Amino acid sequence: MSNDTEFRFGPATGVGSLPGGDAREAAKSVTGSFEDFPHLAELPARGPGADMIGRTAGLLVELYARVEPSGWRIGDRPGRDTRRARSWLVEDLDALEEFTQGYEGALKVQAVGPWTLAANLELRNGEAALSDPGACRDLAGSLAEGLRTHLAEVARRVPGARLVLQLDEPSLTAVLRGQVRSASGYRTHRAVDRQVVEATLREVVGVHAAGPVVVHSCAPDVPFALLRRAGAAGVSFDASLLTERDDDVIGEAVESGTALFAGVVPAVDGPLSDPAGSVMGVRTLWRRLGLRPELLAQVVTVTPACGLAGASPAYARRALAHCVRAARSLADNPE
């Protein structure tokens, strides 16, 4: 759906990736930490096919990809790499199903969005799919079909869940600005027209007619307004990258019913502040925007700044628990 203002996201959740390679351990950790809003864990440490690009490439319909020394490249037929990606996804879904027996509530699944996929998936000539408008269209259509099937499978396995689809778009700003490098590295691909970017995102967002879509980017200058127009019900971002320049677009997003997934907990090992300190920036932003404090806990979901694949297992567990405590602090003391 384009914007589900009635949908209540949970107070805290993860972004997606975790360290390690044990699917059951990851599912147990996520469901134990986020009782109101768990997510399907991703474990890229397992290797190609468990990484974000490979995992989503495995979802594509009638398009296949294989690993080359330079990265993932579109091929003619499903090969070992596609089979591995699909096998790991099934393993992760099996684990999630085991630990969500009887669960009713919001549940988030993640996939790479069409523009980050186009920027990172190579054509047969070694250039990014982004270099070919026709390839971008084919990729978006294939992704949309694959996501429909994937969402239906998750709904079958966890029938009480209200599914939230997260599209990971860390390359989106670079696509809009013409900053994606060519294969040679000596030039960049031309910026894609904003209307084309928006229309393609709207097509992929539209596959989840039964629930809301959140777009995640841990890059600077997230295009909040464009994502809102494309139908995103929420935007997930690294809160440490916000500046006062972003105030107006964030204020407009909140007033239009967009949920904010505020990444306030560092994604790599380091000291964690007290929970209240972690959400201090969110409270400060709210005051600057002149928004009602009681809206804060309704609109904001607390997350890590980005995926936790680069963290140690012990820190990742602490970070997930810290998100929950920080969200509680926000709800208890919005001002």
Residue whose tokens read 């009681």: 294
259-265/300-304 β-pairing: parallel
122-156 tens-digit pLDDT: 999 999 999 999 999 999 999 999 999 999 999 99
CATH number of 23-332: 3.20.20.210
Residue whose tokens read 């079909």: 145
265-304 tens-digit pLDDT: 999 999 998 999 999 999 999 999 998 888 898 999 999 9
Beta bridge partners of 327: none
DSSP string, 50-85: TSHHHHHHTT-SS-EEEEETTEEEEESS--HHHHHH
Per-residue pLDDT of the chain (335 residues; tens, 9 = 90+): 334 446 789 999 999 999 999 999 999 999 999 999 999 999 999 999 999 999 999 999 999 999 999 999 998 888 899 999 999 999 999 999 999 999 999 999 999 999 999 999 999 999 999 999 999 999 999 999 999 999 999 999 999 999 999 999 999 999 999 999 988 888 999 999 999 999 999 999 999 988 999 999 999 899 999 999 999 999 999 999 998 888 999 999 999 999 999 999 999 999 998 999 999 999 999 999 998 888 898 999 999 999 999 999 999 999 999 999 999 999 988 77
**Cβ neighbours, 10 Å, residue 279:** 28
**Cβ neighbours, 10 Å, residue 71:** 17
| DSSP-based helix, strand, coil % in the chain, nearest 5 | 45, 15, 35
**Cβ neighbours, 10 Å, residue 332:** 10
Amino acid at 284: T
Where do the domains of the chain lie?
Answer: 23-332
pTM for the complete prediction? 0.95
Looking at residue 167, the DSSP 8-state letter turns out to be E
DSSP string, 234-267: EEEEEGGG--GGGHHHHHHHHHTT-EEEEEEE-S
Spatial neighbors of 320 by CB under 8 A, at least 6 apart, are: 14, 29, 30, 33, 34, 304, 308
φ, ψ at 271 (rounded to 5°): -70, 140
Q: 191, 193, 215: which is closest to 204 by C-alpha? A: 215
How far is Cα 225 from Cα 198, in angstroms, rounded to an integer? 10
Sign of CA dihedral 135, 198, 11, 107: negative
